[in-house]
């Protein structure tokens, strides 16, 4: 009886062990579908190979939804001291780079490798574009206008003497006066002055007005008063003129012609022109010494002036020959240049202007006096220049060259040069900045980044990529003890079931 019980228990144990072992094997084996005479063998392939896609999807869902969620991973990044490890890593890396004495350019080259040149060219191009875009924005132009305007307003509040007494102004003043004097003596200026006078004379030729209408009444009155006040000098000038040889000869010739044409030739023979001239000149000189005659001469001249003023300007000029006009133009030009615009005249004008400017409290007062809106003038000037400069190709090229040169200089600098004497401080600051950036990333962007990874899909694709044999190997490696326990548990249960069933049969 005992032997039967033991035999039944042993057979049950063997059966339980084999069935559990076979069941575990059938989870993975066979790896592919098997057929005999074209007919599919049941339970092929194994359960896991057959349901691989569904299992992969289920595992991916389970891991992505319940295990590696974005909230879980962000929380893990925050609570596992990763931020401090990252800060320490940055700090060590900065110190390491500083000690290496490698330039910034070489550091970048180590990172990007063969793409270094194209990367630097890209950076230079982008920085240039950013600079050009920034200076072409309306906000920049407006700000530049305001900065320059504010600066100029402060300058305009200064006393004008600050400009007039500056070395720069003295040089400009001296140069301006010298050039003005040189230009006044030049043929070019003389020619231009003649053209101006000639143009005015042509205008007068076509003017249907008298001299009295053209000349200001105050000017005519001044001339008459001047003539009357100079009656003595005029009379004395007449006396002196009568004593000149060519005048004497002309008067004597006139007396001879008058005697010969109006008197009998016999009578004319007894009249000596020299005697007549001497007699007449003595009478004239005697009368010109008299005060009342002197005044009469002045009045006579003024009457002549009145008669001349009644003539039309066009009539007067039409009677002048072209040669005479040219001569008068040259004469008037010489008078203006040499008598009116004298060298000291230029100095006096500059001095006069400077004195008027000095009497003002500020430069702004000077500008207001000449009706100049300084703010509008400066703003328009600055805006025009800015618009021209920011769109100018030459300026664009210079900005590009400046940016390229600046970046090249930066690339040639070593971190040791930047942090010399402050190595620990620089590495600490860099570490803190890295920590702040890391924390902001974890707080604001890490969740979105993790969600973008789609962990469910990654796990599913990864499992599907595994070979069935490899997947079996992994699972058996992970759960070898548990699967072995299940096999031996089947043997135990088979042993118990065989023993119990035999015992019940015997009873």
Closest CA to 54 of 463, 428, 390: 463
Half-sphere exposure of 230 (CA within 13 A, CB side): 12
> Quick check: 1 pLDDT over 70?
no
Is 328 contained in some domain? Answer: yes
Rounded Cα gap, residues 155 and 135, in angstroms: 25
Model confidence at 495, pLDDT cuts 50, 70, 90, reads: confident
Is 49 contained in some domain? Answer: no
- Whether 181 and 187 have beta carbons less than 8 Å apart is answered as no
* Angle separating helix axes 374-391 and 116-136, nearest 10 degrees: 150
Q: By three-state DSSP, how is residue 465 classified? A: helix
User: Residue 192 is encoded by which pair of tokens?
Assistant: 């231009």
Rounded Cα gap, residues 285 and 97, in angstroms: 114
| Maximum mean pLDDT: which of 201-205, 376-380, 402-406 | 402-406
Residue 414's pLDDT is what?
Answer: 77
Is 458 contained in some domain? Answer: no
Model confidence at 421, pLDDT cuts 50, 70, 90, reads: low
397 Rama class: left (phi>0) / alpha (psi -120 to 50) / beta: alpha
Q: By three-state DSSP, how is residue 210 classified? A: strand
Q: Give the Å distances, CA to CA, from 174 to 31, 168, 170, 181, 235.
A: 106, 10, 6, 11, 47
Burial class for 178, CB neighbours closer than 10 Å (0-12, 13-18, 19+): exposed
Model confidence at 318, pLDDT cuts 50, 70, 90, reads: confident
Residue 281's pLDDT is what?
Answer: 77
Is 126 contained in some domain? Answer: no
Count of CB atoms situated within 10 Å of the CB of 403: 20
Identify the residue with better confidence: 186 or 363: 186
User: 426-446: per-residue pLDDT in tens?
Assistant: 667 777 777 777 777 777 777
Is 253 contained in some domain? Answer: yes
Count of CB atoms situated within 10 Å of the CB of 420: 11
Residue 53's pLDDT is what?
Answer: 76
- Whether 194 and 329 have beta carbons less than 8 Å apart is answered as yes
Is 211 contained in some domain? Answer: yes
| Domain extent for 255 | 183-346
Rounded Cα gap, residues 412 and 105, in angstroms: 6
pLDDT-above-70 percentage for the chain: 84
User: 14-27: per-residue pLDDT in tens?
Assistant: 888 788 777 777 76
Total count of domains within the chain: 1
Is 273 contained in some domain? Answer: yes
């Amino acid at each position: 009886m005992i032997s039967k019980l033991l035999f039944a228990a042993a057979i049950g144990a063997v059966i339980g062990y084999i069935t559990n072992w076979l069941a575990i094997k059938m989870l993975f084996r066979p790896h592919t579908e098997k057929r005999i005479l074209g007919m599919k063998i049941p339970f092929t392939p194994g359960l896991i190979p057959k349901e691989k896609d569904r299992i992969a999807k289920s595992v991916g869902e389970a891991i992505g939804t319940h295990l590696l969620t974005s909230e879980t991973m962000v929380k893990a990044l925050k609570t596992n001291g990763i931020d401090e490890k990252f800060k320490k890593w940055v700090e060590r890396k900065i110190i390491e780079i500083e000690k290496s004495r490698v330039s910034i350019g070489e550091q970048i080259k180590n990172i990007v490798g063969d793409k270094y040149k194209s990367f630097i060219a890209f950076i230079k191009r982008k920085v240039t574009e950013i600079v050009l875009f920034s200076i072409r924005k309306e906000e920049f132009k407006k700000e530049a206008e305001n900065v320059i305007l504010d600066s100029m307003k402060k300058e305009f509040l200064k006393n004008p003497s600050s400009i007039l007494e500056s070395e720069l102004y003295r040089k400009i003043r001296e140069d301006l006066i010298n050039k003005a004097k040189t230009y006044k003596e030049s043929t070019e200026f003389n020619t231009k002055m003649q053209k101006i006078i000639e143009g005015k004379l042509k205008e007068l030729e076509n003017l249907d007005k008298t001299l009295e209408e053209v000349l200001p009444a105050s000017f005519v009155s001044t001339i008459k008063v001047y003539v009357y006040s100079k009656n003595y000098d005029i009379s004395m000038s007449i006396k002196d003129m009568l004593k000149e040889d060519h005048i004497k000869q002309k008067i004597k010739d006139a007396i001879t012609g008058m005697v010969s044409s109006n008197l009998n030739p016999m009578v004319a023979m007894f009249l000596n022109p020299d005697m007549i001239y001497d007699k007449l000149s003595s009478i004239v000189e005697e009368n010109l010494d008299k005060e009342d005659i002197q005044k009469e001469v002045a009045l006579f001249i003024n009457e002549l002036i009145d008669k001349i003023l009644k003539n039309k300007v066009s009539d007067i000029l039409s009677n002048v020959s072209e040669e005479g006009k040219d001569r008068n133009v040259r004469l008037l030009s010489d008078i203006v240049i040499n008598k009116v615009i004298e060298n000291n005249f230029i100095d006096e004008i500059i001095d006069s202007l400077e004195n008027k400017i000095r009497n003002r409290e500020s430069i702004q007062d000077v500008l207001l006096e000449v009706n100049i809106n300084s703010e509008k003038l400066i703003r328009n000037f600055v805006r025009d220049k800015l618009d021209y400069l920011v769109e100018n190709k030459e300026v664009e090229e210079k900005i590009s060259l400046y940016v390229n040169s600046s970046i090249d200089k930066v690339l040639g600098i070593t971190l040791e040069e930047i942090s010399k004497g402050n190595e620990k401080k620089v590495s600490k600051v860099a570490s803190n900045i890295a920590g702040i950036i890391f924390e902001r990333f974890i707080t604001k962007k890490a969740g979105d980044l993790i969600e973008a990874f789609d962990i469910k899909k990654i796990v599913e694709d990864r499992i599907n990529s595994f070979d069935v044999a490899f997947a079996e190997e992994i699972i058996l490696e992970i759960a070898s003890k548990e699967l072995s326990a299940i096999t031996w548990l089947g043997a135990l249960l088979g042993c118990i079931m065989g023993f119990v069933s035999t015992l019940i049969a015997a009873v």
